[in-house]
Amino acid sequence: MTTTTPAATTELETVAELAAQLRVDSIRSSTSAGSGHPTSSMSAADLMAVLVARHLRYDWDDPSSPANDHLIFSKGHASPLLYSVFRAVGVVSEEELLTGYRRFAQRLEGHPTPVLPWVDVATGSLGQGLPDGVGVALAGKYLDRRPYRVWVLCGDSELSEGSMWEALDKASYYQLANLVALVDVNRLGQRGETEFGWNLDAYARRAESFGARVIAIDGHDLTAIDNALTTAAEDTGDRPTVILAKTIKGRGFSEIEDRNGWHGKPLPEDLADRAIAGLGGVRDLVLRGPRPDPESATTTAEPVTGDGARPHYGVGEKVATRKAYGDALVALGARDPRVVALDGEVNNSTYAGEFAHAYPERYFEMFIAEQQLIAAATGLNVRGYRAFASTFAAFLTRAYDFIRMGSISRVDLRLVGSHAGVEIGADGPSQMGLEDLAMLRAVHGSTVLYPSDATSAVALVDAMATTAGISYLRTTRGAYPVLYPDGETFPVGGAKVLRDGDDVTLAGAGVTVHECLRAADLLAQQGIRARVIDCYSIKPIDTATLTAAVTATGGRIVVAEDHHPEGGLGSAIADALVAAGQAPLSLTRLAVTGMPGSGTSAELLAWAGIDADHIAEAARDLLG
Amino acid sequence: MTTTTPAATTELETVAELAAQLRVDSIRSSTSAGSGHPTSSMSAADLMAVLVARHLRYDWDDPSSPANDHLIFSKGHASPLLYSVFRAVGVVSEEELLTGYRRFAQRLEGHPTPVLPWVDVATGSLGQGLPDGVGVALAGKYLDRRPYRVWVLCGDSELSEGSMWEALDKASYYQLANLVALVDVNRLGQRGETEFGWNLDAYARRAESFGARVIAIDGHDLTAIDNALTTAAEDTGDRPTVILAKTIKGRGFSEIEDRNGWHGKPLPEDLADRAIAGLGGVRDLVLRGPRPDPESATTTAEPVTGDGARPHYGVGEKVATRKAYGDALVALGARDPRVVALDGEVNNSTYAGEFAHAYPERYFEMFIAEQQLIAAATGLNVRGYRAFASTFAAFLTRAYDFIRMGSISRVDLRLVGSHAGVEIGADGPSQMGLEDLAMLRAVHGSTVLYPSDATSAVALVDAMATTAGISYLRTTRGAYPVLYPDGETFPVGGAKVLRDGDDVTLAGAGVTVHECLRAADLLAQQGIRARVIDCYSIKPIDTATLTAAVTATGGRIVVAEDHHPEGGLGSAIADALVAAGQAPLSLTRLAVTGMPGSGTSAELLAWAGIDADHIAEAARDLLG
């Protein structure tokens, strides 16, 4: 039986057939793979059948159409259901579903990723799809200004993640009536019952208190689902909608329905056969739901304000790199209407506030919710915006899982962390980014930048605008002299030789570049000529410049960094030199090895042993 | 004027004097330091004055008394207020307050840390004090079974952190009537108004929906505060209490009251003088509130079940290290009644479920809330419990900020991450821990362990029980042959030489140890004798064993790791060899450089280039 039904007219009787097919295909795909989550798929099959057949406005032949609704599986483990939907709309074949799911070098991965053109973001770390959806919905309402809707299928278990409440909070704060969360309340988590089981009232009270319109339904009653989705699609004007659907895990096969112990387990073949037979056997229904109004895909040119001239600073002028970030972002925003900015309630510290002032319509305050900060940037990127997300470097650690997932989502995230290292001084260790370089370097495909002055900071912000993947700019709290004149270029992957000398190499980044320069002065007084290198690009690192310097200086190099010793600049340099087979090599690494307290910048740089005196001393020790 | 008042009888008239003193001292300390948050302190001064004078049961001469109440400043930036309280109870001198605050090498740091004996946990990254308090309250109710209460001063801004709602969720789930959150709703954040300003109703609806008893008051009405704290101290039996206090930022000095732009700014001296004069000048009130009932400090011996015999495995038997973790933890739990376990709703995957089954009264299910998972472990550690917290390695990234703050809190956190690397296979990259080693290595004072077999896993779990600071055990999904016989010892910082040979060194950890052994077999067929090293301790790493091996094998070493190339085993080894001045050195590092998809373990290890074939090939290349 093959049926192709025109948009929006599919009867619920056919939808019921579709739901049965989605269940059968969820079972078939996971059993064929020998792994996967059929029961978590079966509970949500009715929700997805009604949504896809009658409400999701999507042109399956043009997944990149800006008019399309968005469908995000926040419960990414229900991938058998999602892929079964893809088969039902005719974009994935039965063969692919049965031989490609969870297999090596195939695109139907265990959890969905944007390797598939109909998937916006990677999910599978729970509690991220809804926050990402907030970002897409922000784009729809405030930037695209198009009527598309963002539908997010959520699990009940993931409502225990705080990030889900950050998402609902921001969805109501920003009045995202275009966002609908469908919660599949199937009562059972991985290892047992959830905190609330089928207590929909408990979830409803919470979601309502966070500003959502709540609709509670029987998630297996197609008419109820259809009515709920119709209501959800009606614009509330100011509130997101949360549909709480009471469902049964494993629904459709009585031997596993609502039973603990069946999470993440494919049915053995004999059970699968019985289940499929009971569900009416294999179907080959192909049907599509409504398509978006093509009018809604038209683009209006964005007005651009300001002249876009890059800020200039005089050499020797004292300017904080965080200030240069703000200046550069304002200039970039004038040149590129797709640049947007977000911040975690510290925009007067990170200087994202300059952008907020210049382009209030392209700035989103995320308040103190770093996970949602990164998720919103992810969602905005899905819609093609170049989002810069800033907070203190230390607080980006709050969102590491979101950054990691961003790399799997293949989005371009532009992250800016201010107040790096002990340099910040009096505020103490809780505010000091001392793990951020290690954290960001370890992300797949990331770019890690750390300017020492305002001129290079501006150039690197410009570079980030066109850098693919996760890029990170580390900025410094204090104001330090501008080192580079206008027009100097700073390619990603490069380094600058600031002083020439053949006795010893001194390498730093950010604040320690200034300490290296002072150390070179101290050494010069003793007749020692140091070569000073500004490693503004930490990943990729400039192996050629470093090996040339180290070779010229007899293998002697001192690296100083305002970061813990593991995984930062020193590791990047050691990795590069060892990989290059550098010999001889006498590398001294200075980093923050103790637990800092408060103090002035100078006191703490000295205490950590990364100031000019210590660098000079280390250089003298190398020279013996 | 110096007054010492006996416990609990301080009149509100005196409390008002105390509140004025706290404001004056908050101004004085921050102005003297030239930085700090006086206005955020002044808003909460009345709350703290009433609490400390009349409700907090605390023996200031014995801060480690198990009978004491706990006071946590979740809004750690209000440190001037906290330190002013410490002066008012006579444990910090006026001189220290005025010359030590935020100064180098002093204990009154910019944000509170347990360098001070009256501080339980470091705060300053917002949204962590209340989650930590949940851990202390869990200890009080379920383990200590003592009547102490946990009072947490929260900011209104930090209610936008999802972790605060994870905390309230768990506080109500675990019926923590001994937990009281005092929220200082002063309306203003760092860069402007909060999302809700003074809309206490909005906060009340949320807190009530999350299961809390809510009391809303005027936070400057001492009688109202006193009544609220009296009510809060009355046992609800099953609910935490949230006191929403409407306050004025900068309260007590009209020139700055409720004004934006005064966050985190000390008063200039002239303003400080006027403010202090207006507040009645400097006071020297010393008073203490009620002391705890000494009876409540008595300890009853914990019953211990099971024989505590360590699990044994036969060499060659296939056992997953995650299973060995569960077995080892059960045995450890029998020997040590202070061992407790927590997990993030995956205890059937991490095998923490074995402990939950054996000792249900010492197991806390945190559901899918990794931030609260780590915070609860932190709070339990405050009360002396040895908490092991487990989830998938990938999902520990969710809690990196909490782990980082744990190190500043000087707590011993025992973290276990299962399902590391591409080895997990079909589930795909969202579930693969590929950044965890870099993340944990970069934490100050951390210990990073990665056993290759069940015998070493058991030994390392035992070692973690007495390891100070943040320790991390990485476990593997699949079952691999036991390599070591009973009785083998695995000191932290050691490594094992599994094969001897002088041609090339092969170093691995966890799953890659087995690949290195297979590679050695392949190489042996070609007459190449490889030395194989099991680096079960990644931080600290065994430099002596590595340098001996590399020296013996002509500088040739291949390192294979199931992790991204940055910051993991390869970096640890490169760092160690370079620091040791190893020469010659020909180091080939094999790691996961691409973005994985799904597949079998074998397919993915081969795809990543970290399986036996690739290791052998790299070794041959080094020899070629």
Q: What is the largest CA-CA distance in chain B?
A: 90
Confidence check: pLDDT of B44 > 60: yes
Which residue's structure tokens are 């039904």? A5
Residue of chain A whose alpha carbon sits nearest to that of B443: A435
Residue B4 pLDDT:
40
Sheet (strand B386-392) strand order: B363-365, B339-343, B386-392, B413-418, B470-474, B447-449, B537-539
Q: Could you tell me the CA-to-CA distances from A484 to A148, A427, A480, A520, A529 in Å, in that order? A: 47, 30, 12, 18, 21
Q: What is the mean pLDDT of residues B413-424?
A: 98
Residue A165 pLDDT:
98
Q: What is the mean pLDDT of residues A408-432?
A: 97
**Are B140 and B238 part of one and the same domain?**
yes
pLDDT band, residue B8 (cuts 50/70/90): low
CB distance from A400 to chain B under 8 Å? yes
**Are A269 and A334 part of one and the same domain?**
no
CB distance from B444 to chain A under 8 Å? yes
CB distance from B190 to chain A under 8 Å? yes
| Domains of chain A: total | 3
Which residue's structure tokens are 């951020």? A436
Residue B293 pLDDT:
87
Which of B104, B430, B621 is the best residue to mutate to test the A interface, defined by the most A CB atoms within 10 Å of its own CB? B430
**Are B219 and B330 part of one and the same domain?**
no
Closest Cβ opposite residue A368 in set B161, B169, B442: B161
The length of chain B in residues reads 624
Residue B587 identity: L
- CA dist B8 and B183 (Å) reads 23
Nearest to B621, CA basis, from B546, B613, B533: B613
CATH of the domain at A379: 3.40.50.970
Q: What is the mean pLDDT of residues A407-432?
A: 98
Alpha carbon A442 to its chain centroid, in Å, reads 14
ipTM for the predicted complex: 0.97
Nearest to B217, CA basis, from B96, B51, B74: B51
Confidence check: pLDDT of A557 > 70: yes
CB distance from B29 to chain A under 8 Å? no
**Are A121 and A255 part of one and the same domain?**
yes
DSSP state of B174: T
SS (H, E, C) A247-268: CCCCCCCCCCCCCCCCCCCCCC
Nearest to B585, CA basis, from B600, B574, B571: B574
Residue B302 pLDDT:
62
Instruction: Report H helices in B308-399.
Output: 321-335, 347-350, 352-358, 370-382
Q: B157 vs A367: CB contact, 8 Å cut-off?
A: yes
Q: Would residue B491 count as lying in a domain?
A: no
- CA dist B185 and B198 (Å) reads 7
Last residue of a domain, one of B448, B481, B514: B481
pLDDT band, residue B295 (cuts 50/70/90): confident
Q: Would residue B306 count as lying in a domain?
A: no
Instruction: Report H helices in B502-611.
Output: 511-525, 543-552, 569-579, 601-608
CB distance from A367 to chain B under 8 Å? yes
CB distance from B541 to chain A under 8 Å? no
- CA dist B526 and A144 (Å) reads 63
Query: Which pair of structure tokens corresponds to residue B621?
Result: 């290349």
CB distance from B445 to chain A under 8 Å? yes
Nearest to B364, CA basis, from B418, B374, B412, A135: B374
| A584 close to B555: Cβ distance less than 8 angstroms | no
Closest Cβ opposite residue B368 in set A160, A169, A565: A160
**Are B471 and B597 part of one and the same domain?**
no
SS3 B413: strand
Q: Would residue B126 count as lying in a domain?
A: yes
Q: Would residue B489 count as lying in a domain?
A: no
CB distance from B99 to chain A under 8 Å? no
| A583 close to A555: Cβ distance less than 8 angstroms | yes
- CA dist A576 and A542 (Å) reads 8
- CA dist B4 and B74 (Å) reads 29
- Whole-number average pLDDT of chain A: 96
Residue of chain A whose alpha carbon sits nearest to that of B264: A427
CB distance from B230 to chain A under 8 Å? no
A540 prior amide bond cis, ω within 30: yes
Last residue of a domain, one of A481, A509, A530: A481
**Are B433 and B469 part of one and the same domain?**
yes
The share of chain A scoring above pLDDT 90, in percent, equals: 95
Q: Would residue B185 count as lying in a domain?
A: yes
Which of B103, B165, B183 is the best residue to mutate to test the A interface, defined by the most A CB atoms within 10 Å of its own CB? B165
CB distance from B479 to chain A under 8 Å? no
Q: Would residue B303 count as lying in a domain?
A: no
Phi first, then psi: what are they for B200, rounded to 5°?
-65, -30
CATH of the domain at A502: 3.40.50.920
CB distance from A106 to chain B under 8 Å? yes
Chain A closest CA to B55's CA: distance in Å? 29
Instruction: Report H helices in A339-427.
Output: 347-350, 353-358, 370-382, 400-408
What stretch of H or E contains B342?
A: strand B339-343
Q: B578 vs A574: CB contact, 8 Å cut-off?
A: yes
Q: What is the mean pLDDT of residues A578-603?
A: 97
∠ CA A342-A380-A107, rounded to 5°? 135
- CA dist B1 and B282 (Å) reads 10
Residue of chain A whose alpha carbon sits nearest to that of B162: A162
Residue B304 pLDDT:
64
Chain A closest CA to B532's CA: distance in Å? 21
At B166-208, the pLDDT tens digits run 999 999 999 999 999 999 999 999 999 999 999 999 999 999 9
**Are B173 and B32 part of one and the same domain?**
yes
CB distance from B38 to chain A under 8 Å? no
Instruction: Provide DSSP, A144-200.
Output: I-----EEEEEESGGGGSHHHHHHHHHHHHTT-TTEEEEEEE-SB-SSSB-SSTT-H
At A97-123, the pLDDT tens digits run 999 999 999 999 999 999 999 999 999
Instruction: Using an 8 Å CB-CB cutoff, list chain B residues near A160.
Output: 166, 169, 345, 367-369
**Are A136 and A268 part of one and the same domain?**
yes
Which residue's structure tokens are 């782990």? B403
Sequence-separated (6 or more) residues with CB below 8 Å from residue A261 = none
B298-304: long-range contacts, CB 8 A cutoff, minimum separation 24? B299/B66, B300/B145, B301/B337, B302/B337, B302/B338, B303/B337, B304/B334, B304/B335, B304/B337
SS3 B180: strand
Instruction: Using an 8 Å CB-CB cutoff, list chain A residues near B438.
Output: 438-439, 441-442, 566-567
Instruction: Using an 8 Å CB-CB cutoff, list chain B residues near A372.
Output: 162
At A224-271, the pLDDT tens digits run 999 999 999 987 789 999 999 999 999 999 999 999 999 999 999 999
Residue A543 pLDDT:
98
**Are A8 and A51 part of one and the same domain?**
yes
- Whole-number average pLDDT of chain B: 96
Beta bridge partners, B581, equal none
Residue B2 pLDDT:
38
Point out the residues of B that are catalytic.
Answer: 370
- CA dist B114 and B58 (Å) reads 16
Which of A165, A262, A424 is the best residue to mutate to test the B interface, defined by the most B CB atoms within 10 Å of its own CB? A165
Point out the residues of A that are catalytic.
Answer: 370
The most confident of the ranges A302-306, B236-240, B564-568 is B564-568
**Are B521 and B477 part of one and the same domain?**
no
- CA dist B571 and A574 (Å) reads 8
Beta bridge partners, A557, equal A505, A587
Closest Cβ opposite residue A566 in set B33, B431, B442: B442
Nearest to A429, CA basis, from B266, B71, B410: B410
CB distance from B468 to chain A under 8 Å? no
| B433 close to B392: Cβ distance less than 8 angstroms | yes
- Whole-model pTM: value is 0.97
Q: What is the mean pLDDT of residues B417-422?
A: 98
Confidence check: pLDDT of B3 > 50: no
CB distance from B282 to chain A under 8 Å? no
Chain B closest CA to A115's CA: distance in Å? 10
| B486 close to B499: Cβ distance less than 8 angstroms | no
Tell which A residues from 56 to 95 touch B, by Cβ distance under 8 Å.
76
At A79-92, the pLDDT tens digits run 999 999 999 999 99
Nearest to B532, CA basis, from B561, B555, B566, B557: B557
| B285 close to B88: Cβ distance less than 8 angstroms | yes
Sequence-separated (6 or more) residues with CB below 8 Å from residue A270 = none
Query: Which pair of structure tokens corresponds to residue B180?
Result: 């009281």
At B493-552, the pLDDT tens digits run 999 999 999 999 999 999 999 999 999 999 999 999 999 999 999 999 999 999 999 999
Q: What is the mean pLDDT of residues B142-158?
A: 97
At B249-293, the pLDDT tens digits run 999 999 999 999 999 999 999 999 999 999 999 999 999 999 998
Q: How many CB atoms lie within 10 A of CB A568?
A: 33
Q: Would residue A78 count as lying in a domain?
A: yes
Per-residue buried b or exposed e for B586-603, using 16+ beta carbons within 10 Å of the residue's own CB: bbbbbbbeeebbbbbbeb
| A38 or B1, which is more confident | A38
Confidence check: pLDDT of B414 > 90: yes
Phi/psi zone of residue B321: left (φ > 0), alpha (ψ -120 to 50 degrees), beta?
A: alpha
Which of B101, B571, B593 is the best residue to mutate to test the A interface, defined by the most A CB atoms within 10 Å of its own CB? B571
Residue A401 pLDDT:
98
Q: What is the mean pLDDT of residues A512-531?
A: 98
Confidence check: pLDDT of B306 > 80: no
Residue B127 identity: G
Range of the domain at A249: 2-291
Instruction: Provide DSSP, B210-221.
Output: TT-EEEEEETT-
Q: A599 vs B368: CB contact, 8 Å cut-off?
A: no
Residue B7 pLDDT:
46
Closest Cβ opposite residue A578 in set B371, B434, B574: B574
pLDDT band, residue A3 (cuts 50/70/90): very low
SS3 B609: coil
Q: B427 vs A107: CB contact, 8 Å cut-off?
A: no
**Are B244 and B368 part of one and the same domain?**
no
B63 prior amide bond cis, ω within 30: no
**Are B502 and B610 part of one and the same domain?**
yes
- CA dist A29 and A261 (Å) reads 20
Query: Which pair of structure tokens corresponds to residue A281?
Result: 């056997």
Q: B161 vs A157: CB contact, 8 Å cut-off?
A: no
Residue B364 pLDDT:
98
Chain A closest CA to B357's CA: distance in Å? 12
Q: B348 vs A586: CB contact, 8 Å cut-off?
A: no
Residue of chain B whose alpha carbon sits nearest to that of A367: B160
Last residue of a domain, one of A440, A457, A481: A481
Q: Would residue B311 count as lying in a domain?
A: no
Per-residue buried b or exposed e for A262-293, using 16+ beta carbons within 10 Å of the residue's own CB: bbbebbeeebbeebbeebeeebebbbbbbbbe
pLDDT band, residue B1 (cuts 50/70/90): very low
At A132-176, the pLDDT tens digits run 999 999 999 999 999 999 999 999 999 999 999 999 999 999 999
CB distance from B353 to chain A under 8 Å? yes
DSSP state of B303: P
Which of A200, A437, A578, A601 is the best residue to mutate to test the B interface, defined by the most B CB atoms within 10 Å of its own CB? A578
Return the number of CB contacts < 8 Å for A and B. 343
